[in-house]
Amino acid sequence: MTDTERQDLGLFTDLYQLTMLDAYLREGMHDDAVFTLFVRRLPEERKFLLAAGLDPLLETIEGLSFSDEDLNYLKEQDFSQKLIDYLRNFKFTGQVRALPEGTVFFENEPIVEIKAPLPQAQLIETLVMNQLHLQTLLASKGARVARSAQGRRVLDFGARRVHGIDAGIKGSRALYLSGITATSNMLAGCTYDLPVAGTMAHSYIQAHDCEYDAFKNFTNAFPETVLLVDTIDTIKGVEKVIKLANELGDDFKVKGIRLDSGDLGDLAFKVRELLDEHNLNHLKIIASGGLDEHKIAQLIKDNAPIDGFGVGTGMGVSDDASALDMAYKLVEYAGKGRLKLSSGKPVLPGEKQVFREAKGSFSHDTIARVEEQLPGEPLLRKVMQNGKRLPSHQRNIEEIRQYAQQQLDKLPDSMSSISCTEASYPVEISDTLANYQKEITEHLKRGGG
Amino acid sequence: MTDTERQDLGLFTDLYQLTMLDAYLREGMHDDAVFTLFVRRLPEERKFLLAAGLDPLLETIEGLSFSDEDLNYLKEQDFSQKLIDYLRNFKFTGQVRALPEGTVFFENEPIVEIKAPLPQAQLIETLVMNQLHLQTLLASKGARVARSAQGRRVLDFGARRVHGIDAGIKGSRALYLSGITATSNMLAGCTYDLPVAGTMAHSYIQAHDCEYDAFKNFTNAFPETVLLVDTIDTIKGVEKVIKLANELGDDFKVKGIRLDSGDLGDLAFKVRELLDEHNLNHLKIIASGGLDEHKIAQLIKDNAPIDGFGVGTGMGVSDDASALDMAYKLVEYAGKGRLKLSSGKPVLPGEKQVFREAKGSFSHDTIARVEEQLPGEPLLRKVMQNGKRLPSHQRNIEEIRQYAQQQLDKLPDSMSSISCTEASYPVEISDTLANYQKEITEHLKRGGG
């Protein structure tokens, strides 16, 4: 059993969800509620986001439960027996409409709309946000890094510094669907059927008394490997690779070398020349060490002869934008549109749909009420009903990855560029939705709330 | 079973750990290795770090194992039967020396030194780094936030935007031990026996047709609650709290109100005045919404009458320093000191000790070879032997938290300030260690490597 398949995550919730739930039960508030998940403002460094994490989340929600240990803990916390009985039999029975994973989206657009009895939809808030936030954050970063490499391989080496086990596993999935080539994380590879990749570490070289012996022994075990050459001196390391090629002759099957320190661009030129001089033109050069989309773009702009990139920390923690201003807000209860007026935090009431128009590339989106029919493609699809995922909307990771690439290819150039510009994608609100929002706002201001 | 108690995390490792392990097995390289975990450079925004995560990590390592599913997966990946048999019977048998959780530390200082047969110590690298990186990162951030609040309560509201489930659970533990008052995350509270806290959300108010009824009903269920007043209009919300107090008289047990939007300082003054005018002086004011240590420090400097702070995203993702330059490096194998010369990434060879001298507050540290006896307190302690935690070094979370406070209290003022200064804490390297490093470096440069 991996993290992902665990379903006893009912207790991964904030205390206030449970106190509110307890109050809802006492008040008999079981009518259907609609909650919308969206990102209020994009980080400065992002001009689009890439939806990710839906299917693993829905799998968890399908079987969401509380263990006896959880329930005993809640009893100790003085929760009512009524609440504990409710949680003992908890089963999510609601409907979910969502952007398919791999869909590009923008500010204020619904990513997910959950319609379920109020206590259920309230309880899962923390889990829904935590999971979709993480994966959308990393897919959005990964899409930038993959694009910067212009078709070259990008390997996700982040497992050691991403924030915890779950981020390591689900984050690698998000990065892969965004266009990253493979992950070094074996548990992620196993859990989500992702391609895995890796070379060797300095410690292997260090543990041998002689770098040349280390290369030779490792090549003996894994003939088609990539050798790490910077443990002592990069150029001397490459010379040892050449010596090994000469010694092994036709038995030399090594595929490449990896640079992991120093001026990667400068070293790549020198190493390429050295390898080519010795008829090792087929050896690839992989670069790693503190890389991100900007450094990769610069290396490629400088024509550095690098065939692939290993990218770790910066991508795995989304270092230039380590969180999204994501919110999960009540927009309807018992058939009535709901919002709040808290300053600077507007909410669009009721169930919604997003219509996207394109002329070759995407041109603009309109957020509308769900029953409206507007020009363009409706983006939100029903993916769960009565608490069960709809098989018609389940896709494997390769299908999601292809869909994401199609989406990214349709971004206007000004949106897909990794450099910072003032451009922002036009997202409009339909007149019908704007009027509905105004109507409820006035009602609240008149004291109806 | 919670995340933390899972021990089948053997596969949470990078592909290259397994290829190196496979090669070590073929070569019969089973001698003891020593790996040192340390942070090369502190982020610009940090002048100290706070060690965290050791005990949960050691608990995982004690029982680290591979499931049949893991082993089948590795078979499909063409790993040798020898490797798979080795992993089937894997048991960590090594020794761990470490800074106790809650110890303050600085650049290049060993946090953990692991001594074990090379294949074992290599295999666990990814897990060790992932876990200690996450928790040290968040404890170091939490210590700043807690300090900025100058004794006022700080509630960790981050569960929804921290990076995944594991970060939610272990991160809340790290924040608590660093000085944060309580967490909203129930699974973290249950797993690590942390105090939990929470109030109510906007959705509860929104789901009612009338804010006053919402306050009244919630108070009925939870008399000693904190009411959220900014859903429609903060001042009007507070007026409704006052109305409720008048209506309930002696039955009014509400403990406070929460502000979650707008100019928190300005609103706190107005709300305090309004409450006091109505003899509600005992009601506390809690503020939340985009807070971090700098905003809290400013509110306190402005004398804003705020009694407690809810802090979420910024703290939970350590937004101003979302990763540490942490490394796990081979420093000894088969009794010989090891290092690498990769540019800009120096390593201190051999087993080490850190001696810390204090004159009231900490004055300076010296990193030395393990057998040296220098003035000051030796910081690294043996915490695991033969793969088992030493009971003498296990402490409960309250003891760790108290120790962390003692450590933080001994920081020189220039180090504990949250504002940016040029000051850095003096960390020296003993002559003996410097000579040892020089000796091995020269050996490697002469081609010995």
Query: What pLDDT, in 10s, does the model give residues A96-144?
Result: 999 999 999 999 999 999 999 999 999 999 999 999 999 999 999 999 9
Q: What pLDDT was estimated at residue B2?
A: 42
Are the Cβ atoms of A167 and B171 closer than 8 angstroms? no
Q: What pLDDT was estimated at residue A440?
A: 94
The pLDDT-based confidence of A4 (bands split at 50, 70, 90) is very low
Q: Average pLDDT, stretch B71-97?
A: 96
Are the Cβ atoms of A196 and B323 closer than 8 angstroms? no
* Shortest CA distance from A165: residue in chain B: B166
pLDDT above 60 (res B38): yes
* Nearest CA distance, A384 vs chain B (angstrom): 22
pLDDT above 90 (res B448): no
CA–CA distance, A322 with B315 (Å, rounded to integer): 11
The pLDDT-based confidence of B13 (bands split at 50, 70, 90) is very high
Are the Cβ atoms of B19 and A225 closer than 8 angstroms? yes
Class of domain B148-316: alpha beta
* Shortest CA distance from B10: residue in chain A: A187
The pLDDT-based confidence of A403 (bands split at 50, 70, 90) is very high
pLDDT above 70 (res A153): yes
pLDDT above 90 (res A8): no
Q: Average pLDDT, stretch A335-361?
A: 93
* Shortest CA distance from A19: residue in chain B: B200
Report residue A304 as tokens: 């550095």
* Nearest CA distance, B226 vs chain A (angstrom): 11
Tell me if chain A has a CB within 8 Å of the CB of B223. Answer: no
Query: Domain ranges in chain B?
Result: 3-139+324-448, 148-316
Which residues of A fall within a CB distance of 8 Å from B134? 163-164
ipTM of the modeled complex: 0.96
* Shortest CA distance from A236: residue in chain B: B447
pLDDT tens-digit map of B85-137: 999 999 999 999 999 999 999 999 999 999 999 999 999 999 999 999 999 99
pLDDT above 60 (res A3): no
Q: Average pLDDT, stretch B428-435?
A: 97
Mean pLDDT of chain A: 95
Q: Average pLDDT, stretch B187-213?
A: 95
Tell me if chain B has a CB within 8 Å of the CB of A400. Answer: no
pLDDT above 50 (res A2): no
Are the Cβ atoms of B160 and A126 closer than 8 angstroms? yes
pLDDT tens-digit map of A239-264: 999 999 999 999 999 999 999 999 99
Are the Cβ atoms of B205 and A340 closer than 8 angstroms? yes
Mean pLDDT of chain B: 95
Of A26-40, A206-220, B270-284, B335-349, which gets the smallest average pLDDT? B335-349
Interface list for B 401-420 with A (CB within 8 A): none
Tell me if chain B has a CB within 8 Å of the CB of A314. Answer: yes
Which of B186, B200, B319 is facing A20, going by the closest CB pair?
Answer: B200
Q: What pLDDT was estimated at residue A448?
A: 58
pTM over 0.90: yes
Interface list for A 158-187 with B (CB within 8 A): 159-171, 184-187
Tell me if chain A has a CB within 8 Å of the CB of B15. Answer: yes
Q: What pLDDT was estimated at residue B421?
A: 75
Interface list for B 270-309 with A (CB within 8 A): none
Q: What pLDDT was estimated at residue B6?
A: 55
Size of chain A in residues: 449
What's the 3-state SS for chain A? CCHHHCCCCCCCCEHHHHHHHHHHHHHCCCCEEEEEEEECCCCCCCCCEECCCHHHHHHHHHCCCCCHHHHHHHHHCCCCHHHHHHHHCCCCCCEEEECCCCCEECCCCCCEEEEEEHHHHHHCHHHHHHHHHHHHHHHHHHHHHHHHCCCCEEEECHHHCCCCHHHHHHHHHHHHHCCCCEECEHHHHHHHCCCECCCCCHHHHHHCCCHHHHHHHHHHHCCCCEEECCCCCHHHHHHHHHHHHHHHHHHCCCCEEEECCCCHHHHHHHHHHHHHHCCCCCCEEEEECCCCHHHHHHHHHCCCCCCEEEECHHHHCCCCCCCCCEEEEEEEECCEECCCCCCCCCCCCCCEEEEEEEECEEEEEEEEECCCCCCCEECCEEEEECCEECHHHCCCHHHHHHHHHHHHHCCCHHHHCCCCCCCCCCEEECHHHHHHHHHHHHHHHHHHC
Q: Average pLDDT, stretch A59-69?
A: 94
pLDDT above 80 (res B5): no
The pLDDT-based confidence of A186 (bands split at 50, 70, 90) is very high
In the CATH hierarchy, which fold is given to the domain comprising B3-139+324-448?
Answer: nicotinate phosphoribosyltransferase (3.20.140)
- Evaluate whether B3-139+324-448 and B148-316 have a shared fold: no
> In Å, how far are A9, A70, A74, A348, B283 from A79, measured between CA atoms?
18, 12, 6, 33, 24
pLDDT above 80 (res B176): yes
For B106, half-sphere exposure in the C-beta direction (CA atoms, 13 angstrom radius) is: 22
* Shortest CA distance from B117: residue in chain A: A207
Please give the residue that has the higher pLDDT: either B345 or A204: A204
Q: What pLDDT was estimated at residue B74?
A: 96
B169 contacts B180 by C-beta, under 8 angstroms: no
Q: Average pLDDT, stretch A198-225?
A: 95
Q: What pLDDT was estimated at residue A6?
A: 55
* Shortest CA distance from A138: residue in chain B: B163
Are the Cβ atoms of A200 and B170 closer than 8 angstroms? no
Tell me if chain B has a CB within 8 Å of the CB of A233. Answer: yes
How many inter-chain contacts (A to B, CB under 8 Å) are there?
Answer: 351
Tell me if chain B has a CB within 8 Å of the CB of A118. Answer: yes
Q: What pLDDT was estimated at residue B120?
A: 98
Of A78-82, A190-194, A279-283, which gets the smallest average pLDDT? A78-82
Q: What pLDDT was estimated at residue B7?
A: 59
Tell me if chain A has a CB within 8 Å of the CB of B90. Answer: no
Are the Cβ atoms of B171 and A160 closer than 8 angstroms? no
Q: Average pLDDT, stretch B386-398?
A: 94
Q: What pLDDT was estimated at residue A345?
A: 79
